Amino acid sequence: MKTTGYAAQTKGAPLTPWSFERRELRAGDVAMEVLYCGVCHSDLHQVRDDWGGSIFPMVPGHEIIGRVTAVAPGVTRFKVGDAVAVGCMVDSCQHCRPCRLGEEQYCTEGMTATYNGRDRVTDEPTQGGYSKHLVVRQEFVLSVPDGLDLSRAAPLLCAGITTYSPLRTWGVGPGSRVGVIGLGGLGHMAVKLAAALGAHVTVISRSPTKTADALALGADEVLISTDADAVAKAASRFDLIIDTVPVDHPVGDYLPLLDLDGSLVLVGQIGPIGQPSSVPLVMGRRRLAGSLIGGIAQTQELLDFCARKGVLPDVEIIPIDRINEAWERMERADVRYRFVIDMASLPAAG
């Protein structure tokens, strides 16, 4: 099927309109029209090839809300007209231990990324949600519960699940003391979700100008990371810190903020993290960990949780021809707090 989208033709290139082919439906596939797609900092990283191995042309986008337009034989869970969602992955081996545990993102054969990956059957590059149409096997399609505002739900599919998953893994609930480093797309969802789970939440930000927003999003306190006195006073105060900073940074500076048995979970930077000393780890039985998105079952749990609790991302909806400007603003940490592309602004294939 011919479709259109916005693609980077080469490494670091601006996004421009592009026509390309979506695969014909295979048994078990769901076809959808994309209604909304969130804009993740990972989109920028991958177009710049920050993680190596990027494939071009590349249509980014892995926070996708759509409506089913066709289903192939074998599809039992969806019908034409259903509101559906797709996140960061579209396939995995389905039989390794992580897959059997419902943690497909850690598939030992490698999960298939929604874009900048390769189809497990044809080896063709996958293309993401900055486009009009998408075809995905039903196991990787989520149901959007009634009552979840479609125009705001897209960021749950990456920013939401990436922060919800460690909150659940580390058992956050009433009484938990949670710190969130970096108030961007992931950070603002971490604040909302931790607060909805009943935790005491502190935003740890470089940006004093975000203080009022942080409190409005549900944080109880704000710690400005450049205020050395305030940081020193916050020693041993947290059970869990979620670090969303998208670049190399001195993670070791934050470890003393953890209480005994506390954990700092990296979800932002994928690469070097300065040269943290083991002293605060050894001397306080503290833990340094990482986490990648979340499994399909947990993503559905998150969507249902957000519908039930009325938790929704704060979004700025843009037409697709403003995407390059949105990326520039994201790079300057000027996002309040997630851009979402209204795909109705993208003309259909001519």
With contact defined as beta carbons under 8 Å apart, do 180 and 192 qualify? no
Long-range contacts of 304-310 (CB under 8 A, 24+ apart): 304/145, 305/164, 305/196, 306/148, 306/153, 306/156, 306/160, 307/145, 307/146, 307/147, 307/148, 309/196
| Residue 85 binding target from ligand NAP, Zn ion, none, CB below 5 to 8 Å by type | none
Cα angle, residue 253 at apex, residues 329 and 338 outer, rounded to 5°: 25
Which helix H or strand E contains 64, and what residues bound it?
strand 64-71
How far CA 137 is from CA of 5, 261, 311, in Å, comes to 20, 41, 28
Q: Is 202 in the site for ligand NAP (CB under 6 A)?
A: no
Helices (H), 31-171: 41-47, 97-100, 150-153, 159-169
- Among 116, 205, 298, 299, which residue interacts with ligand NAP (rule: CB under 6 A)? 205
Q: Tell me which H or E stretch contains 201.
A: strand 200-205
Residue 184 CA to residue 336 CA, distance in Å, equals 7
Residue 38 amino acid letter: G
For residue 16, the surrounding DSSP H or E stretch is strand 16-21
Q: How many CB atoms sit inside 10 A of residue 47's CB?
A: 22
Among 3, 162, 176, 202, binds ligand NAP (CB under 6 A): 162
Q: Give the number of residues in contact with Zn ion, rule: CB under 5 A.
A: 3
- Cβ closer to ligand NAP: 30 or 204? 204
Query: Which of Zn ion, ligand NAP, none has residue 92 at its interface (CB below 5 to 8 Å by kind)?
Result: none
Closer CB to ligand NAP, residue 185 or residue 252? 185
Q: Interface with ligand NAP by CB under 6 A: which range of 9-17, 226-234, 238-246, 299-307?
A: 238-246
The listed partner (ligand NAP, Zn ion, none) that binds 247, CB under 5 to 8 Å by sort, is ligand NAP
40 lies in the site for Zn ion, by CB under 5 A: yes
CA distance 65 to 341: 10
Do residues 289 and 255 lie in contact, with contact meaning Cβ atoms separated by under 8 Å?
no
Among 16-24, 157-165, 168-176, 295-303, the segment contacting ligand NAP (CB under 6 A):
157-165
Does the footprint of ligand NAP cover residue 117 (CB under 6 A)?
no
Residue number with CB closer to ligand NAP (3 or 165): 165
Q: Which does 34 bind (CB under 5 to 8 A by kind): Zn ion, ligand NAP, none?
A: none
Q: Which of 112, 176, 244, 298 binds ligand NAP (CB under 6 A)?
A: 244
341 binds, among ligand NAP, Zn ion, none (CB under 5 to 8 A by kind): none
CA atoms of 144 and 65, how far apart (whole Å): 8
Residue 28 or 290: the one with the smaller Cβ distance to ligand NAP is 290
Q: Which of 179, 184, 252, 295 binds ligand NAP (CB under 6 A)?
A: 184
- Contact between 148 and ligand NAP by CB under 6 A: the answer reads no
Asked if 335 is part of the footprint of ligand NAP (rule: CB under 6 A), the reply reads yes
The CB-of-239 to ligand NAP minimum distance in angstroms stands at: 20
With CB under 5 A as the contact rule, the residue among 35, 158, 265, 296 that binds Zn ion is: 158
Residues that bind Zn ion (CB under 5 A): 40, 42, 158
